[in-house]
Amino acid sequence: MEFSARQIADLLQGTVEGEEQVCVNNLAKIEEGQLGSLTFLANPKYEPFIYHTASSVCIVNKSFEPKQALPPSLTLIRVTDAYASFAEILKMYAQIQKKPTRIEQPCYIDPSAEIGANCYIGAFVYLGANVVIGDNCAIFPGTYVGDYSQIGNNTTLHSGVQIYDRMLIGQRCIIHAGTVIGSDGFGFAPDSQGIYSKVPQIGNVIISDDVEIGANCTIDRATLGSTKIGSGVKIDNLCQIAHNVEIGDHTAMASQAGIAGSAKLGKFVMVGGQTGINGHLSIADKTKIVAQSGIPSSITSADTFMGSPAITLNDFKRSHIVFRRLPQIMDEIETMRKELIDLKKNKHK
| Pick from 18, 20, 19, 46: nearest CA to 32 | 46
To the nearest 10 degrees (0 to 180), the angle between helices 82-96 and 5-12 is 110
- Distance separating alpha carbons of residues 116 and 292, to the nearest angstrom: 42
- Three-class DSSP category at 189: strand
- Distance separating alpha carbons of residues 37 and 52, to the nearest angstrom: 14
Please indicate whether residue 243 is annotated as part of the active site: yes
E strand or H helix that includes residue 9: helix 5-12
From the candidates 243, 250, 280, 348, give the one annotated as an active-site residue: 243
| Pick from 73, 77, 4, 86: nearest CA to 35 | 73
The phi and psi torsions of 163 (rounded to 5 degrees) equal -110, 115
Beta bridge partners of 288: 270, 304
- Three-class DSSP category at 317: helix
DSSP, res 21: T
DSSP, res 321: H
Instruction: Give the chain's end-to-end CA distance (angstroms, integer).
Output: 97
Encoded amino acid at 323, one letter: F
Q: Known catalytic residues?
A: 243
